[in-house]
Amino acid sequence: MEVENKQQVNRFTVPIGPQHPALKEPGHFLITVEGEIVTDATVRLGYAHRGIERAVEERSWVQSMYILERVCGICSHIHATAYALGVEKLAEVEVPPRAQAIRVLVAEMERIHSHLLWLGVAAHEAGFDTLFMYSWRDRETVMDLLEGLTGNRVNYSANVLGGVKCDVDEAQADAIRQGLEFLEERTHHYLNVVTTDALFLQRTRGVGTMTRTQAELLGATGPTARASGVKRDVRVDAPYAAYDDYPAHMVIETNGDLEARFVVRIKELFESYRIIREVLDTLPPGELTARMPRRVKAGETISRVEAPRGELFYFIKSNGTDQPERIRVRTPTICNMASVVRLAVGHQLADVPMILVGIDPCFSCNDRMVIVEGANAERRSWTWEDLRQYGIEHYHQQSA
Amino acid sequence: MTTEETLTLANDLLVNWVWSAESNRPEPNRLDVRLLSSTDLMPMVVGLRVQRLGYLAAITGLDPGPESDEMEVLYHFCAGQAVVTLRVSIPRVGGAVATLSDVIPSAEAYERELSEMFGVAVTGLRKPQHLYLPDDWPDGVYPLLKDADLSALPAAMPAALPNISKE
């Protein structure tokens, strides 16, 4: 007897976000599913757009540094570095080698904190919360070291135009070495876990596979591209700051699946540990800053650096005054976002969060306006003064 | 290919050999090619792709301000250290460029951003909707144009911005 399949294939469109428990930052995805299988996906960005490119045109070179460092809370140092390197090139200022080496030092420590943060978030999305908690516990080590070095955990403000603010003494160097020893041991353990844990591999191996050609066509960058075999790393291709003296080695994997993205990022941690040790052992003596003119010579320049998520591109134009004429920021996440939408098709809906975190998305980087929308659909914005006043009252109430 | 070889090949391809355009070297690792006509853009990009001269790293809109009739769109291609920039001049109001997304799919996001921030029409773009700006953003306000009147925005929009910069 033939059994008739009465089940209809129904097509549903599932909106995810802008505010959603599975998203750590706001983004809106429209996912069309037939049964459990994703057949189409679109993304809408801009929920964290703050108009930074416009804001810097109305501020001085020094003030702009402060704003650009706040494009992203995770990779603040690399934004400031890209900007400072570009402006220094325009102003024809020679930055002391010690300052350039310290920029590399902080950048690599930032990469460690960013990759460990990502490892935790990705493990959490896979339902592996033990790995999430361990990796975030270990990440505190590097956060403490960054705080010891620069005074801040997140927006370190290590850079100034013309150099860096912070120096490294022997005691700090020893503390960093000690911290790295602990982290290196832990990283070996994590590499072992993500490549051998059978349950975890079911969520990562062969999931979200992107071939090299796809990665190049979709414009992927950073660890996402390197996990698909694209040999591209700005630290290697176009060394900046002190990467000429402390060369980085590119970590390449060819499988292109989520597992490869885990392996690339974890292996990059070892590379960061090695670079940091080299910098600490051979830190050139000398000044930390060079004198920077208030007005920057007219001209245009391009500054490219390797952020934890991939290539960060700055186009800077000066008109000879103390304010920038135009600064264009192209962050790595926008390059990788196209790959998420494309890769999600054909996968189960439950794999979509993993594929999204696989690129290590950073929406704040991506978007760059405070709008508070009330339930009664009345829209208003909080001015700087409102926010400040709110903060003061909030903490008064707390302490009372 | 070294940086020098890349830039020489790009210059031969774009300026000396096929198209008539102007070029200069603002920095040792950069080649700026000024297109004489915006219709040359697409064949030039295909030429760069065929020769495997780099990947599209970004598209930058450049508005000199209301005193000028023209604005520029910059297409940056990177290969190693080398950066080749194609500069296209278009009318400041009502200007248009052809989409590159048929050849380079990753160009779509940059072109949508260019279009909403500068009011440049990108012909052939499959999804011309806003990428970053809100859906209810008023028509005809392009925030990265130098003379953009942001005070015309609803009260929720950043009318507070000029006050911050005065402090």
Interchain contact B41–A (C-beta under 8 A): no
- pLDDT (0 to 100) of residue A383: 65
In CATH, the number for domain A9-48+334-399 is: 3.30.390
ipTM of the complex: 0.88
Inform me whether the pLDDT recorded for A363 exceeds 70.
no
- Best of A313, A325, A369, A380 to substitute, by most chain B Cβ atoms within 10 angstroms, is A369
Q: Are the C-beta atoms of A9 and A315 separated by less than 8 Å?
A: no
Interchain contact A53–B (C-beta under 8 A): yes
b/e burial code for range A59-79 (CB count within 10 A of at least 16 → b): bbbeebbebbbbbbebbbbbb
Residue with tokens 């955990």: A153
* Cβ within 8 Å of A, B 83-102: 83, 85
Please count the other Cβ atoms lying within 10 Å of the Cβ belonging to residue A363.
Answer: 22
Inform me whether the pLDDT recorded for A386 exceeds 80.
no
Residue at B149 is within a domain: no
b/e burial code for range A293-328 (CB count within 10 A of at least 16 → b): eeebeebbbbbbbbbbbbbbbbbbbbeeeebbbbbb
Confidence of residue A380 (pLDDT cuts 50, 70, 90): low
Give the domain extent around B116: 3-133
Beta strands in A45-197 (DSSP E): 159-160, 163-164
Total CB pairs under 8 A between chain A and B:
106
pLDDT along chain B (167 residues), means of 10: 85 76 88 88 88 90 91 93 93 91 89 92 87 83 86 57 47
Residue at B47 is within a domain: yes
| Structure tokens that stand for A363 in this block | 């929406």
Per the structure, the count of domains in chain B is 1
Interchain contact B126–A (C-beta under 8 A): no
| A175-192 pLDDT tens trace | 999 999 999 999 999 999
Superfamily of domain A52-330: Cytochrome-c3 Hydrogenase, chain B (1.10.645.10)
Q: Which residues contact A347 (CB under 8 A, 6 or more apart)?
A: A37, A38, A207, A208, A355
Interchain contact B110–A (C-beta under 8 A): yes
CATH number at residue B45: 3.30.460.80
- Cα within 13 Å of Cα(A151), Cβ side: 6
Sign of CA dihedral A348, A354, A357, A359: negative
For chain A, domain boundaries? 9-48+334-399, 52-330
Helices A170-196 and A258-281 cross at an angle (nearest 10°) of: 160
The C-alpha angle A9, A12, A17, rounded to 5 degrees, equals 155
The predicted model scores a pTM of 0.87
Residue at B167 is within a domain: no
Interchain contact B131–A (C-beta under 8 A): yes
Residue at B144 is within a domain: no
